[in-house]
Amino acid sequence: MYRTGIRLYRPQADRGVAALKSLWAGFIIPFARFTLPAVDQAVTAYRPDVLVVDQHALAGAVVAQRRGLPWASLATSSLELAQPFRGLPKVDAWIRGLIAAFCTEAGLPRDETFDPRFSPHLVLACTTAALTGAAAIPDQVALLGPMLADRPAGPDFPWDRLDPGRRHVLVTMGTLAADVAQDFHTRAVRALQPLGDQVQAVVAASSEALPDLPAHILAAPHVPQLRLMPQLDAVVCHGGLNTVCEALAYGVPVVVAPIRHDQPITAAQVAAAGAGIRVRFARVRAEQLRAAIMAVLDDPAYRRAAIKVGKSFAAAGGAGAAAERLVRLAPPAAGTAGPPEGAGKC
């Protein structure tokens, strides 16, 4: 990944602690340094009442802290919410050291209580307790479910090739995993190959990367995922919270093959909720993957669990509830006793 004047290093093949180091030392901290001046200039120009800051876009939190502005963290993954490094004190201390050094560089006074990943005012989390389980969640976290909205139609998709007489499975490993997903896609095709009489699959990959596909498996480089969900009976994915939550929002069970970062956490939550099956990304064999796919297709318990989680998402409110929280977070307009009319500047 490149941006003007800076090289952001995110090797997608890294695993475990190596992936964590590349995420923080190679992306999050350099990106925070690079974006800090631009974020500061944008806040000066726009003069917002509230900032909404991705948990891993630290510059926004630092600017809010410097200016005394209320700010909300946006948790688009379960990584920080699950606090996976509590049992790894050296790893946790290393991350906190990187954050503290950046905050000092940005001119903030030393404050052990300030963590730019967690706003003390509000954390908007794209999940619910039905998926996170009994994990301890900080008091300021609002569990709102996925924040879905209409999307542009995008490139043409072969809707006319979908067979209503067969069950449908989507295989998608995410855009950032393209360089490590080829082998998994090949195994997925082998897993699905004998199922042509009952299953039709869509693989989110180019047809050049998957030549000689059987007729019941479609390869598409661009998949209109939300529009496709109502047609699906199962999703095979890498455990990104976005895809997992979109599937569960439509009551579609998932087979999760996590690669790195927050994905193993999400995969464990899916399995614990009974809404899918976790498999090993690097080592699952075609016959094992086939068995997992057929299990979530044939056992109605997985669909029931997915529907249960999806109902919790709908009840949590998603984007509308997030907007209401942000309006309440904004300071009252001059001369009023409460929040300003409408959505305000957020």
**Which has more confidence, 88 or 343?**
88
Nearest to 15 by CA among 264, 179, 259: 259
Which residues lie across from 141 on neighbouring strands?
123
Residue 177's pLDDT is what? 65
Choice between 134 and 101, residue whose per-residue pLDDT is larger: 101
The secondary structure element, H or E, covering residue 273 is helix 263-273
As a whole number of angstroms, the distance between CA 184 and CA 174 comes to 12
Mean pLDDT of 328-346: 57
Q: Which range (124-138, 199-213, 317-331) has the least confidence?
A: 124-138
Q: What is the mean predicted confidence (pLDDT) over 65-88? A: 86
State which fold the 2-145+318-329 domain adopts.
Rossmann fold (3.40.50)
**Could you give the strand order of the β-sheet that contains 71-75, starting from the edge strand earlier in sequence?**
51-54, 71-75, 122-125, 141-143
Buried b (16+ CB within 10 A) or exposed e, 23-32: bbebebbbbb
Q: Give the per-residue pLDDT at 200.
A: 98
Work out the average pLDDT over 271-284: 97
The percentage of residues in the chain with a pLDDT greater than 70, rounded to a whole number, is 88
pLDDT of residue 240: 94
For position 336, what pLDDT does the model report? 47
For residues 123 and 73, the answer to whether their CB atoms sit within 8 Å is: yes
Q: What is the pLDDT of residue 112?
A: 87
Residue 335 pLDDT: 45
pLDDT per position as a tens digit, 144-191: 999 998 888 777 899 999 999 999 999 999 876 666 788 999 999 999
* pLDDT for residue 12: 47
- Say yes or no: do domains 2-145+318-329 and 159-312 share a fold: yes
| pLDDT tens digit sequence for 218-243 | 999 899 999 999 999 999 999 999 99
Quick: pLDDT tens for 288-335. 999 999 999 999 999 999 999 999 999 999 999 999 999 999 988 644
**Long-range CB pairs of 34-40, under 8 A, 24+ apart, other chains included:** 34/3, 34/5, 34/6, 35/59, 36/62, 36/63, 36/106, 39/63, 40/66
Mean pLDDT of the chain: 89
CA distance 130 to 311: 9
Give the residue-averaged pLDDT of 122-126.
Answer: 96
Q: Which CATH class is domain 159-312?
A: alpha beta
pLDDT band at 10 (very low <50, low <70, confident <90, very high): very low
What residue segments make up the domains of the chain, in order of their start? 2-145+318-329, 159-312
Q: Per residue in 25-62, pLDDT tens?
A: 999 999 999 999 999 999 999 999 999 999 999 999 99
- Please say if the pLDDT value at position 256 is more than 90: yes
Q: Is the pLDDT of residue 71 over 80?
A: yes
What is residue 4's predicted lDDT score, i.e. its pLDDT? 38
Q: What is the pLDDT of residue 342?
A: 42
Higher pLDDT residue, 199 or 86? 199
